[in-house]
Copies of this chain bind each other. A is one copy, B any other.
Amino acid sequence: MAHPIADVEDTAFEACDEGRALVRDVLERVGDKWSVVVICQLADTTRRFNELRRMSEPITQRMLSATLRGLERDGLVTRTVHDTKPPRVDYALTPRGFSLLEVVRALAGWAEANAAGIVHARTAFDARGLGASDLRRGPAA
């Protein structure tokens, strides 16, 4: 990760241009349907699989499994298997996971603060005539 050449007036933001693929990578993690939910459930304490399953309803087994695996792969959660009578597996956030949680909290905070405004803007925009357009099939409904 080396800077190509000095950027004189980067008052703004270099990460936007520089490691776009990199940032997109993280955004996809955060943008998928369940990662953030699971991370939040692990904010306080370590959890077991079906515990997470119940808390994250209506998540499916498949998606929880896949989500946890993705988080584990990125070093955001740890998976520990206890060899007890009925098998027991604990999931917990790693330090990196916690640091991501902080950022996600900021995002969630922004969402809460701006939810009303966004909803209002949407209804206003939708009310303002737009007959029909196949382009709605762009990003986010």
The residues of A with any CB-CB pair to B shorter than 8 Å are 1, 11-13, 15-17, 19-20, 22-37, 40-41, 43-44, 62-63, 65-67, 69-70, 72-75, 96, 99-100, 103, 105-112, 114-118, 120-122, 125-126, 135-140
Contacts and interface: CB of A to CB of B under 8 A. Distances in A.
Contact of A117 (B31, B66, B75, B122): B75
A27 B12 CA distance: 23
A111 B15 contact: yes
14 contacts: A1-B112, A1-B116, A12-B44, A23-B107, A24-B33, A26-B107, A28-B31, A30-B107, A35-B140, A66-B137, A69-B136, A73-B126, A75-B120, A99-B110
